[in-house]
Structure 1
């Protein structure tokens, strides 16, 4: 027993599906009348779910009409049927990207959070380290990312240098020494 169609859910509407020519088999481009079930907008364009007429064999050896559903690119492989209203076809649209904030336009993209340590190789004496932002070109790519508290512990060590290329020195020094010590060390306090 078949279930009656739900009037709230629109059924498929007719559409022409364009089959490309096949020069190997000597087949020209063809149009086949099909049923349009759904439309979907993708990042590269539209695709339509169409039902193409087909046939299938049954267990008792008879052949019956069937439908083969496939997603096809539109408008390359789909054309409308004159006089058909396509406004009721279920349509999945991409969400519009949020407009960029004024802050992001001015400041640019945020740098990844955290800090990484680069261990310098020395022959004698205590090991030297350099503290970098994770996206610094000089930072090691396989180093674990430290949070601010751990980065401050590492930065307090006299064997640690803060990278000036990525801004680690400009960002961590005020936290370590206060904002009065952000200038050159030879400057008097408060200048």
Structure 2
């Protein structure tokens, strides 16, 4: 019995690692979508990870990391969200000190807004692109269009195709698993969600009336 239990644990661990990686990727995608807008409106947080600093300053992350390490400056770390681990980066003041000591102050581009004291009276509403209104529905629509080339697509064919070949249509890698009764997937915000097969018919009907862009 113990051997069987150990084998099951070994089977689960890779799936759990993959799930955590997808959660992290979804979180990072959302962060990148919001980053430029936040910088433009001078709403950058006190701490930025090295990826965000590189993006705003026009550097490759690896190159920027090498420059910082050669200077002898130590990275700071901050937990991005419970269960997602730590990100290395800098607080506003420490990165300013690094730029000043290396003769790179003031910085160019949107990164300069990190130190702006001006704040807008009304905070902008940060939204993602309209195509992300419902990622799973967009994926389902791609499956429907593929199967309906012969004019014979139906709910069961769509679900069977999702079970067997969802990787073919899952360009954003949101699906975790498709069973006989439900789809387990992760949204761009890193939220784990479940959609049941019983609701697929109504979803497809709505998509026919109002197809995704």
Q: If the length of structure 1 is used for normalisation, what is the TM-score?
A: 0.20
Which structure would you say has the larger Rg? Answer: 1
Q: If the length of structure 2 is used for normalisation, what is the TM-score?
A: 0.18
- Which one has a larger percent helix, Structure 1 or Structure 2? 2
- Which one has a larger percent strand, Structure 1 or Structure 2? 1
